[in-house]
Amino acid sequence: MRIFQSNDVDGSVVLRLEGKMRGQWVDELRHLTSEILQKPANRLVLDLAEVTFIDTHGLALLHELLSRHVRLNNCSLFVTHQLKAIEQKR
């Protein structure tokens, strides 16, 4: 997976993800998002348009980030349903 970081016009930090969100990349994304969210003024947006696969650990991380008010852009319908299923189990 590749991660591209930029700033949006509203000041949000945008992480554009490409490829497969699995294994060590989930850990890398968790570390990076934690660093960004440590600053109280930072708002975070994940752009998932180019993500082709997300494993269960990746879905769990996305669910956790949603609870921290991270915005998900271009999230596929499949991933949206998977995240709702996680929420319903809790």
Q: Do 50 and 16 meet the contact criterion of CB atoms below 8 Å apart?
A: yes
CA–CA gap between residue 56 and residue 89 (Å, rounded): 14
Q: Which pLDDT does position 28 carry in this prediction?
A: 97
- CATH code matching the domain that covers 2-89, chosen among 3.30.750.24, 3.40.50.2300, 3.30.70.20, 2.40.50.100: 3.30.750.24
CA–CA gap between residue 29 and residue 3 (Å, rounded): 8
Q: What is the pTM of this model?
A: 0.88
Residues 6+ apart with CB under 8 A from 14: 5, 6, 7, 8, 44, 45, 46, 47
Q: Which pLDDT does position 16 carry in this prediction?
A: 97
Q: Which pLDDT does position 11 carry in this prediction?
A: 86
Q: Which pLDDT does position 74 carry in this prediction?
A: 95
Q: Which pLDDT does position 42 carry in this prediction?
A: 86
Q: Which pLDDT does position 44 carry in this prediction?
A: 97
Weakly modelled stretches of the chain, pLDDT under 50: none
